[in-house]
Structure formats: structure tokens, C-alpha cells
A and B are shown apart, each in its own frame.
Chain A
Amino acid sequence: MNAHAEYQELTDQQKLIDMRQELEGGFQTVIRHYQAGILHRPEKIRQAVRDNDAERVSMESHSMKSVCRQVGLMNMGEMAARLETIGNAGDLSGAEELIERLIASSVTANHELTRFCTGMELPKPFFSRAAHDE
């Protein structure tokens, strides 16, 4: 893989484009709340994993999944869905690695959302997180 190739977290920009059109002046305020959730909720999931609290892992991951999917972060939504499934199963094996990936992705996603909101172009071509990890 090209060492300079960038994967992109914001894989469904249309969701944000629709949101911006629908919300007009309210878009920036709404998206700031989503960004806060995307940045802070993974830490709550990590703490729940450290506390070995599967129910909390499931609940927090469920919220993270919905937040990510709403703003077009589909790969992160999938990671959160996998964490939710792990939490539901009650066995948190494998959750630590996944949560670290989710945290790393949340930082990238936050930058991408900021770029989108300020009208800056996102890097292209992009690769999904899954492709990047291979």
C-alpha cells in the first residue's frame, strides 16, 4: 500500500450533505454535539471494558453506533456494533483491541468532520479502515 495513502472515516458524506441542507443555520451546532460524542464516548467504552462491565460496554457502544451512522462514519459504526455484540455476549475478549482502534478512528473522524464543516476538501482516494488494516 502507498505509504502516503490515507484511509477515510467519513465514508458516507451524503449524510452530512443532507443534514447541512436540512438544518441550514443549525448545522454547526448539531454537528458539534455529534463531534463531542464521537470524541468522548469511546473513552467511556474503554472504561467500561477496563471495569469488565459488559452491560455498560453494550449500552455505550450502542449509542456510539447510532451516532457514527447518523453522520456517515460507517466503518466506526461497524466497530461500535461489534463492541455492542461483544458486550451483549458478556465476554469482553477482543474488546480492548477494538476499542483502541475505535479511539484512533475517532480522532481522525473528528478532524474530517471539522474539515467538512469548514468546507475543506477531504483527501481522495480513500481506503476503508478494514482495507487499511490489511
Chain B
Amino acid sequence: MATILVADDDESFRVYLVTILKQAGHTVLEAEDGQSAMERFAASPVDLIITDIFMPKMDGIDLLSALLMDRPQTRVIAISGGYKAMSSQLTLEMARSFGAMDIITKPFQAATVLQKVTQALESE
């Protein structure tokens, strides 16, 4: 089982993701924005990060950029419901271009999350 950091400013989504992942046997850390996620990751590196894209202080794209510049092997899954003129798909494709290894569109199902987490953890 892995240690996973979940970054989302919305508490309900954070609790949902944490519950899914803990039920699957993972150890889960939480962050409410990109800045907190960076701090948590610096203090204790994890196997995988699941991050929302649009968050206050530091958004998911900035988090991705900072993380992957420092530790290029970091596994990141981006999650979003789209924002402003960007559809969720366009937003998440942007996240992929910044280095996210997979993407999840809100709303999502637990099975989708777990499947993508397993794939990410099994990847080299």
C-alpha cells in the first residue's frame, strides 16, 4: 500500500477522496491548497499526489511545475471540474502537458479514482 497526498481546497472532495483511499488501505495525507501540499511533500515525500487544479494560494498547475522541477519522478494525478472558459477536459489536458501522469474529471466515481491510482503506482 502507498502513501498518497490529496490536495483540494474543497473539504467535501478531500474527505471523499481520503475515505476512498483509506478504505483501499492507503495512508493518506491532506492539503487544502498547493502551498500546503508543497510543504507537506517537502516534510514527507509520498508515493503519489492527487491534486485539484483550481485552488487558492497555489493552484495545481503551479504545484505540478514546482514539484516536477524539484523531483521529476513524482507521480501526480490531476483532478478538476473545469474553470472559467476552460472545460474540465481542456484544463486536465493542460495539467497533463505540465507533467500529470493521469487526469480525473469531476464528478467522478470511486472506482475510477482507485483504478487510476493503481495504474499510477504500478508505473515505472
Contact = CB atoms under 8 A, between A and B. Distances in A.
Interface in A41-94: 58-59, 62-63, 65-67, 69-70, 84, 88
Nearest to A35: B12
Interface size class of B (residues with CB under 8 A): 20 to 34
B39 interface: no
Contact of A62 (B12, B23, B54, B108): B54
Contacts of B109: 18, 22
B27 interface: no
Contact of A26 (B23, B54, B111): B23
Contacts of A58: 84
A23 interface: yes
Contacts of A101: none
A116 to B, nearest CB: 16
B13 A66 contact: yes
Interface size class of A (residues with CB under 8 A): 20 to 34
A115 interface: no
B81 interface: yes
B20 interface: yes
B110 A67 contact: no
Contact of B12 (A18, A37, A84, A88): A37
A22 B23 CA distance: 10
Interface string B1-16: 0000000011111011
11 contacts: A30-B19, A33-B11, A37-B11, A37-B12, A66-B13, A67-B10, A70-B12, A70-B13, A70-B106, A70-B107, A84-B84
Interface of B: 9-13, 15-16, 19-20, 23, 54, 56, 81, 83-85, 106-111
Interface of A: 15, 18-19, 22-24, 26, 29-30, 33-34, 36-37, 58-59, 62-63, 65-67, 69-70, 84, 88
